[in-house]
Structure 1
Amino acid sequence: MDFLKKQESVYEEIKNTKNPVWIWGAGSMAEVIEKRLNEHGIFPKGNFINLSDIEVDNEKLWQLKELEETGNRIDVIVGHGKLDLVKNLKNCNIVDEIYVLDSPYEQYWPDVKAIKKLEDLMLKGEIRERIYDNKSYECVNKYVEFYNGKMENNFFEEVELLCEDMFEFEKLNLTENENYIDVGAWDGDTVIEFLKYTKGKYNKIYAIEPDDKGYNMLSKKFKDSIRISLLKMGLSSTKKTLYSSKSNTQSMHLIDSGEGKIVECNTLDYLLDNNIIENKPTLIKTAVPFMDLDVLRGAEKTIKMIKPRLICNISCSYKEISSIIEYILGLNLEYKIAFRYRLPVPTQLLLYAF
């Protein structure tokens, strides 16, 4: 049974439950979960949280303690990456069943051919020589097993395959002289991780984000930071015009045509050649849905000249995982490749090149 068929079986179970169905949470993932449920003819009773320190100002959003006071039995639906939450809810005396919807976003839905290509690639001798350690193989195997529908338990239990944050991977060897480029910086979460890990000891940060909402959040957080430059633009393999879209995905992404906002894209090489980015990067992170490979191609001159360390959230570009690995190794820069998870969910598979 592959991933999508396995998910369909979960919807069938939910459809046949006798209890009212409630969704935990009220954020973007909860909205997508409700949409998926509605598509399958399932209409939840409402949403709840179990965070007593948060004031609820929404007639559809309940506190767990309010549901407990009714005494009614319920079933609960949560999104991926909520393992601690699931454990806590199992101890709730009104909860009968808990259903986990892994990867409700189409952004992360697997491509059968891409998964098979990744399996085959990892068996090649010339690739195996460049993979850093056995943990990297375990990470990829988890990813493949999950999307092939072969995983019986929670996606993730082996905490040693996790990085507490993106920058703790030992082979990064961060110093006080880092020039960090964050491509797909969104609201600054990975910039904050970088600042925390380096304890503020670095040379320069460039945070690149084309989305209005994300860029506005970046500006509020870092507008007074002298060593952090914010760039509102898209990056690609060439200079081009793209359009914003958020159709069936967790985050905004860029497409060739559409009715979304026009986003002018450039290449990382162009930004460096024209001193828009003045410092040669020592570390580049990409998390750009469907476009990580394009971003890397647009930085080829820079990568060949400097050989910065690379971090790619490759599950954002699930159809191109194998191509990204082949591209980096094909640069003939003697990069080693490692894989780790940032969170215990399949959408957080990180590739490190060093």
Structure 2
Amino acid sequence: MDWKESVSLWQRLERARKPVMLYGMGNGADKILDELARRGIAAAGVFASDEFCRGQIFRGFRVINYKQARERFGEMIVLVAFGTQLPEVMERIKRIAREQELYIPDVPVYGGGIFDKDYLMLHEAELRRAYALLADGLSRETFRDMVEYKLSGKPEYLYRCESRPAEACKNILKLGNSECYVDVGAYTGDTIHDFIEMTDGYERIFAIEPDARNFARLKSAVEGFARIVCWNVAAHEREGRITFAQRGGRNSAASGAGWTVPANSLDNLLAGERVTYIKYDVEGEEAAALRGTEHIIREQKPRLLVSAYHRNEDLFRLPLLIKGMRPDYKVHLRHFPCIPAWDTNYYFV
């Protein structure tokens, strides 16, 4: 398997003569600025949409809007430093890309390291092993485009491999009306509502959410629905306690700083229960949660949906881990419209 991109985004930026401008603020921008500084690449500034830039200072830069940036610099390299699924925001990014050299750097949501040429060479054997497991053409195209995107930062690879959740539900999951669904990382109940809308009924639902504020909203969201059990616990590989950053949003996650919360394995929580479908979206702890489900996976072979974008290694580590538990799984990969490479999921059926 040969890769089209021979130069990484970071190599390209090291050679760039145009000013480098970040589009957006927040955690992603922090990580991009840190990596630029590590490589000795100077950022020229930060711009944001009109509604976000007024009076803002970010990392010592006065935040301006795109019009002001264009007036100041003319041609520039734009690095998109935030994530979005909103069609109007994605279209705005495409409009800027028609005027400027634009990239969307892939920086991991959790964990360290950058997916550059060195990383690709270090893990190429594992990437090839994971690619060989894929069961359909769209999965293989998505995998190749994902690697090319992570290396180059070019958004066209993300756009090219987009598919829709309805396609995965219809062609891969094929859910029935008697599912026993486990929502690991249930957030505020949105994915439970999605599941109920996709099916004509269900047998039971188990919802797992460690963040206290999210859990309160989850309980409220499922009130009135029958046969739903909610646990305010972190899914992990064994029973105990883990340190957890409770942010009251989608980015609540296991962390080196924060509160300690109870944790347990799905094998313990669901002992003796019938399980037909599990969704894992646990902010970088997918591998630990999967190891804590090994008995259920080996014994029952439930359908699995596993987020594959929180850590660099998720693209190859997660399918290799699960196929090691049940070699007879068929493996599929899908990316839904989102930038950067978020909402990229493995399906095991």
Compute the TM-score of the two structures, normalised by the length of structure 2. Answer: 0.73
Deviation at 1:141, TM superposition (A): 1.0
Q: Quick one: distance in 2 between partners of 1:234 and 1:72? A: 46
- Structure 1 match to 2:219: 219
* 1:239 and 2:234 correspond: no
**Equivalents in 1 of 2:308, 2:212: separation in Å?**
23
The percentage of counterpart residues that share the same residue type is 19
Q: Are 1:286 and 2:302 counterparts?
A: no
String of CA shifts for 1:60-110, please: whole Å, max 9, x gaps.
48xxxxx79999847876435567535446668xx9647443335542743
More divergent stretch after superposition (69-78 vs 322-331): 69-78
Q: How many Å separate the matches in 2 of 1:215 and 1:7? A: 44
1:334 paired residue number: 328
Q: What residue in structure 1 maps to residue 126 of structure 2?
A: 118
Unaligned runs of 5+ in 2: 1-5, 57-64
Is the counterpart of residue 173 in structure 1 residue 171 in structure 2?
no
The answer for the alignment partner of 1:133 in structure 2 is 136
Contact in 2 for aligned 1:315/1:347 (Cα 8 Å): yes
Match of 1:271 among 263, 269, 272: 269
Distance 1:2 1:227 in 2: 53
Q: Distance in 2 between matches of 1:219 and 1:312?
A: 23
Please name the residue that 1:35 is paired with.
30
Secondary structure at the counterpart of residue 164 of structure 2: coil
- The answer to whether the aligner puts 1:144 opposite 2:147 as a matched pair is yes
1:347 counterpart residue number: 342
Deviation per residue, 1:295-348 (Å, 9 max, x gap): 122112222222111111122243254343233222345211111113344233
**2:79, 2:100 → 1: CA distance?**
9
Distance in structure 1 (CA, Å) of the matches to 2:298 and 2:155: 42
Deviation at 1:262, TM superposition (A): 0.3
Q: Is 1:290–1:318's contact at 8 Å kept on the other side of the alignment?
A: no
Alpha carbons of structure 1 residues 193 and 119: separation in structure 2 relative to 1, 3 Å: same
| 1:286-305 mapped onto 2 (5 Å cutoff) | 286-305=280-299
TM-score normalised per structure 1: 0.72
User: Deviations for 1:170-214, whole angstroms, at most 9, x for unmatched residues?
Assistant: 12111111111011122333223222322x622222221112343
The 1-side partners of 2:190 and 2:167 are apart by 10
Q: Which moved more, 1:229-238 or 1:95-104?
A: 95-104
Question: Contact (CA 8 Å) 1:115, 1:144: kept in 2 or not?
Answer: no
Residue number in structure 2 paired with 1:5: 10
- Give the RMSD, CA atoms, in angstroms: 3.9
Alignment partners' CA distance in 2, 1:321 and 1:72:
37
Q: Deviations over 1:257-280 (max 9, x none)?
A: x4310022111111122x7xxx41
Q: Structure 1 residues 222, 332: closer, same or farther in 2, change over 3 A?
A: closer
CA drift at 1:11: 9.3
Which secondary structure does the structure 2 equivalent of 1:5 belong to? helix
**Residue identity in the other structure for 2:310:** C
Matching residue's letter, 2:268: Y
State the SS of the aligned residue for 2:342.
Answer: helix
CA contact (8 A) 2:127 2:316 kept: no
Code of the residue aligned with 1:208 in structure 2: it is I
Moved more, 33-42 or 187-196: 33-42
Secondary structure class of the residue paired with 2:26: helix
In structure 1, give the amino acid aligned to 2:124.
K
Q: In structure 2, what is the equivalent of residue 158 of structure 1?
A: 160
1:215–1:338: structure 2 CA closer, same or farther, 3 Å change rule?
same
